[in-house]
Amino acid sequence: MRPYAPRRILPLLEDLQKLERGLTVDPLNPLFRDIGINHLKSRLRSHPDVAAAHHADLVAEILV
């Protein structure tokens, strides 16, 4: 087994830094808009017993 080696973050080349626009968020992008609800659906489906015991209201509302 290899020992853990943390990854290094390399600096962006200077010519690429000039083109870099920074972080952007597009509120119309459906991936960003729906990722939270899709993650919740996945968790509720993968653990139906826990969801029913602790979040019955969400199960009834989301998984219908």
Per residue in 12-52, pLDDT tens? 899 988 888 777 777 777 777 788 888 888 999 999 999 99
Three-state DSSP class for residue 47: coil
Confidence of residue 3 (pLDDT cuts 50, 70, 90): low
Task: Produce one character per residue of 1-11: b if its CB has 16 or more CB atoms within 10 Å, e if not.
Answer: eeeeeeeeeee
Distance (Å, rounded) from C-alpha 44 to C-alpha 38?
10
Contact 59, 51 (CB under 8 A): yes
Distance (Å, rounded) from C-alpha 35 to C-alpha 43?
12
* Residue 58, phi then psi, degrees to nearest 5: -70, -40
